Chains A and B, each alone.
Chain A
Amino acid sequence: DSGVTQTPKHLITATGQRVTLRCSPRSGDLSVYWYQQSLDQGLQFLIQYYNGEERAKGNILERFSAQQFPDLHSELNLSSLELGDSALYFCASSSDGDRGCEQYFGPGTRLTVT
């Protein structure tokens, strides 16, 4: 158990809909990251937050947005969903105190868009 929690574990929704994925980082970790894992794109970095502020952005679509709240939990919002958005979405967190700033991943949310 990495200490990172994600809800829900599975999500099935229709095209055009909007969903929210939730992540709670390890206790004390200020950085939260979101990644998307799909068969055709592999593991792709989406966005990073550090103590409530956006720190880095990857190939995140404009239909996707994220935020980190004062209690450090984060949400990833996906809107106008398309079939191609079906993927495993991971949240990860890291601590500045860890030597390598290694990222610890949550169990993921498997999103299926039908």
Chain B
Amino acid sequence: AQKITQTQPGMFVQEKEAVTLDCTYDTSDQSYGLFWYKQPSSGEMIFLIYQGSYDEQNATEGRYSLNFQKARKSANLVISASQLGDSAMYFCAMREGLVCGATNKLIFGTGTLLAVQP
């Protein structure tokens, strides 16, 4: 069965520094997608970044990058140059299969609460 593990319940980082949020996953499928979402205190879920299991390069979106290590089954999120507005809960999620239109349910981890300090 699919499982996402986020072992850091909470993290602190100084403003302008980089931070890595850990995510490991378990699946028997060869084809899958990995996602990171941000949930600020206001409650909405914001899509940040996607990595497909066959992507050869790590995904990047602005200050976000995904450190994908397939053999270790890890998909860590790296936020560079942290800003106060980055303070939020961050969720790692996985979807089995790569084909759009099929079952696309997401399995989420328990989240990491990031606090950016000035």
- Contact present for A103 and B108 (CB under 8 Å): no
Please indicate which of the listed interface residues B35, B44, B93 has the most CB atoms of chain A within 10 Å of its own CB.
Answer: B44
How does the 8 Å CB contact mask read for B87-109 relative to A, with 1 for contact and 0 for none? 00001010100001101111110
Question: CB of B12 within 8 A of chain A?
Answer: no
User: Which residues B33-55 have CB closer than 8 A to chain A?
Assistant: 33, 35, 37, 43-47, 50-52
- Contact present for A103 and B104 (CB under 8 Å): yes
Please indicate which of the listed interface residues B33, B45, B111 has the most CB atoms of chain A within 10 Å of its own CB.
Answer: B45
> How far apart sit A92 and B44, CA to CA, in the bound complex (Å)?
11
Question: CB of B110 within 8 A of chain A?
Answer: yes
- Contact present for B105 and A48 (CB under 8 Å): yes
In the assembled complex, which residues on chain A have CB atoms less than 8 Å from the CB atom of B46? Answer: 2, 105
- Contact present for B106 and A103 (CB under 8 Å): yes
Counting chain B residues whose Cβ lies within 8 A of the other chain, the interface size class is 20 to 34
Pick the residue among A90, A99, A101 that contacts B104 (CB under 8 A).
A101
Question: CB of A25 within 8 A of chain B?
Answer: no
> How far apart sit A42 and B93, CA to CA, in the bound complex (Å)?
12
Pick the residue among A58, A105, A106, A107 that contacts B105 (CB under 8 A).
A58
- Contact present for B44 and A2 (CB under 8 Å): yes
Pick the residue among A96, A102, A110 that contacts B35 (CB under 8 A).
A102
- What distance in Å separates the Cβ of B50 from its nearest Cβ neighbour in chain A? 3
- Contact present for B100 and A104 (CB under 8 Å): no
> How far apart sit A76 and B93, CA to CA, in the bound complex (Å)?
23
How does the 8 Å CB contact mask read for A2-18 relative to B, with 1 for contact and 0 for none? 10000000000000000
How does the 8 Å CB contact mask read for A81-111 relative to B, with 1 for contact and 0 for none? 0000000101010111111111111111010
